[in-house]
Amino acid sequence: MDRFHKAFEMAVKAHENQIRELTGSPVIVHPLAVMGILRNFGIKDEDILIAAVLHDVVEDSSITLEEVKKEFGDRVADLVDQVSKKQDKTYPIRDESGVVLKMADLIHNGLCMPKDNEKKINNYIRRVDLIIKNYPQLMNSYPEIFKYLKKILKKVKALR
């Protein structure tokens, strides 16, 4: 079985019977959407795409970072660790790949943002503003994903 299938199976198991608060849909939809966003913006790096599928498994289930590392290697585990909620408030993310993964995560979260939750909206705006402020150099490396993140940010700001 290839690494993508293993990642998908791990994510499905980790998110079994979990419902996403923002949308009411199964949680597994979110990491698959994040991977799809990355693919749509031309990201082909297998480790980044696998980390996208697994980015919430450690924080949302009993799966440990060590299990991710054992199954998928140091880099995937590091990327999952970089974008986990425990890292979310601290920034900086340790490398460019982690930032790109976080931008895709934020794009999908912004697309799902409810109109009636000012706390979530304000938190989202703060997180996106931190990415834009702390990683302006990525506008040159990944201009399309940066541009789209700013577009989603504008739409979320309009919800206030």
Annotated catalytic residue: which of 60, 78, 81, 105? 60
Beta bridge partners, 19, equal 26
> Among 45, 46, 59, 88, which one carries the catalytic annotation?
59
Q: How far is CA 115 from the centre of its chain?
A: 21
Any catalytic annotation for residue 59? yes
The answer to whether 114 and 24 have CB atoms below 8 angstroms apart is no
Assign 144 to helix, strand or coil.
helix
The amino acid at residue 91 is Y
What lies within 8 Å, CB to CB, of 128 at 6+ separation is: 106, 110, 149, 152, 153, 156
Is the peptide bond between 92 and the residue preceding it cis, with omega within 30 degrees of 0? yes
d(Cα 149, Cα 146) in Å, to the nearest integer? 5
Alpha carbon 80 to its chain's center: 9
Residue 95 known to be catalytic: no
The residues carrying an active-site annotation are 59-60
